[in-house]
């Protein structure tokens, strides 16, 4: 009779030890004092290093926003550049705390042990050509050569689009996006394919950027957003609502310039008060201080400030807001209520 009891006690002790050893991502980040943030390898306007080795861009702002929320220090970030094909596996393996740029689709979500927490950039698959080719639409690409990585979602989407629209083309196989850029510039293909944001960022690095045109058609939807490992609801909520804080701040006119003034005393807008921590106990629901969102906005600005300052029309990347405008301006960007 003693052996079964002893065995049960050992099992219970083992389970208890496992529970004690388990640590939430928030606690791990706070104990470490640094957020490890997975980004693109290098993409101007989104994630790239300046001459001093400092990372900047749209994706980096999201990394810093999360660090500001959790650590109170937007610079407490270790940027981990990852190839797209390896990024989700790196997240699942625990190499990074969060992955800030990945396409949210069925396979990436249901096929991996990760959760996407929202969309921070509505993108789409596009095509870029030299202006000297004299085309203004994909319908004029009959018989063109297209650089594309075989057996990828991009390859399938291009094939589907051209077939549906009765356009013939010749695929030029490349190994990755960087190889496509090299082959395109070398003249091995007339058309370069990729996410429109990636094409715009890549074009910005060309010596003759004005000689290259991104065609207007969107071949597929590519919603980009942060992903986290599954089974840590608290961490998912922190990353999700950090993104929503940036979006809500723009809608309500809270900026990096006025946020501390607005957070000093309650305003007439209760949504703003709850966002900035002067009303309610919303920070505690995330295990964060009451002013967590105010710290985020003060550090990086609101969504509009981040977009316009890194990839907007006045930058070398030159993207219009389009679908990434606030819902009140005809776009798809909005945050659930802070209530």
**How is the chain split into domains, by residue range?**
24-122+223-329, 123-222
Query: Are 236 and 109 a contacting pair, CB within 8 Å?
Result: no
Question: Using CA atoms, how far apart are residues 179 and 147, in angstroms rounded to an integer?
Answer: 9
Q: Tokens 């300052």 label which residue?
A: 309
DSSP assigned state of 23: -
Tens of pLDDT, residue by residue over 58-112, are 999 999 999 999 999 999 999 999 988 899 999 999 999 999 999 999 999 999 9
Sign of CA dihedral 102, 106, 111, 112: positive
- Ranges under pLDDT 50 in the chain: 1-21
Sign of CA dihedral 214, 220, 226, 228: negative
Please enumerate in sequence order all residues whose Cβ is within 8 A of that of 161, keeping only pairs 6 or more positions apart, or say none.
138, 217, 219, 220
Residue 41, pLDDT score: 83
Residue 84, pLDDT score: 84
Question: Using CA atoms, how far apart are residues 302 and 207, in angstroms rounded to an integer?
Answer: 32
24-122+223-329 maps to which CATH number? Answer: 3.40.190.10
Residue 21, pLDDT score: 44
Q: Tokens 């006025």 label which residue?
A: 258
123-222 maps to which CATH number? Answer: 3.40.190.10
Q: What end-to-end distance do the CA atoms of the chain give, in Å?
A: 56
Sign of CA dihedral 289, 295, 297, 300: negative
One fold for both 24-122+223-329 and 123-222? Answer: yes
């Amino acid at each position: 009779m003693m052996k079964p009891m002893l065995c049960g006690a050992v099992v219970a002790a083992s389970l208890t030890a496992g529970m004690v050893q388990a640590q939430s991502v928030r606690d791990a980040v706070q104990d470490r004092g640094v957020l490890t943030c997975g980004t693109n390898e290098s993409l101007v306007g989104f994630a790239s290093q300046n001459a001093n080795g400092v990372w900047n861009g749209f994706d980096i702002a999201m990394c810093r926003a999360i660090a500001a929320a959790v650590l109170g220090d937007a610079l407490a970030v270790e940027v981990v550049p990852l190839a797209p094909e390896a990024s989700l596996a790196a997240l699942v393996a625990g190499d990074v705390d969060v992955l800030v740029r990945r396409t949210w689709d069925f396979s990436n979500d249901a096929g991996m042990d990760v959760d996407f927490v929202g969309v921070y950039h509505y993108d789409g698959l596009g095509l870029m050509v030299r202006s000297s080719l004299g085309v203004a639409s994909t319908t004029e690409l009959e018989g063109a050569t297209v650089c594309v990585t075989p057996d990828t979602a991009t390859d399938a989407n291009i094939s589907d689009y051209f077939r549906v629209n009765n356009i013939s083309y010749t695929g030029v196989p490349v190994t990755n996006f960087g190889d496509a850029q090299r082959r395109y510039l070398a003249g091995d293909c007339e058309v370069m394919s990729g996410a429109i944001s990636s094409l715009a960022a890549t074009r910005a690095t060309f010596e003759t950027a004005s000689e290259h045109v991104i065609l207007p058609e969107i071949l597929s939807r590519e919603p980009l957003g942060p992903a986290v490992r599954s089974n840590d609801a608290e961490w998912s909520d922190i990353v999700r609502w950090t993104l929503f804080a940036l979006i809500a701040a723009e809608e309500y006119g809270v900026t990096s310039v006025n946020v501390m003034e607005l957070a000093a005393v309650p305003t007439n807008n209760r949504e703003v008060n709850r966002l900035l921590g002067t009303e309610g106990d919303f920070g505690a629901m995330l295990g964060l201080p009451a002013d967590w969102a105010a710290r985020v906005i003060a550090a990086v600005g609101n969504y509009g400030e981040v977009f316009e300052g890194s990839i907007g029309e006045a930058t070398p990347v030159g993207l219009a807001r389009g679908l990434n405008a606030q819902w009140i301006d005809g776009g798809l960007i909005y945050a659930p209520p802070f209530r």
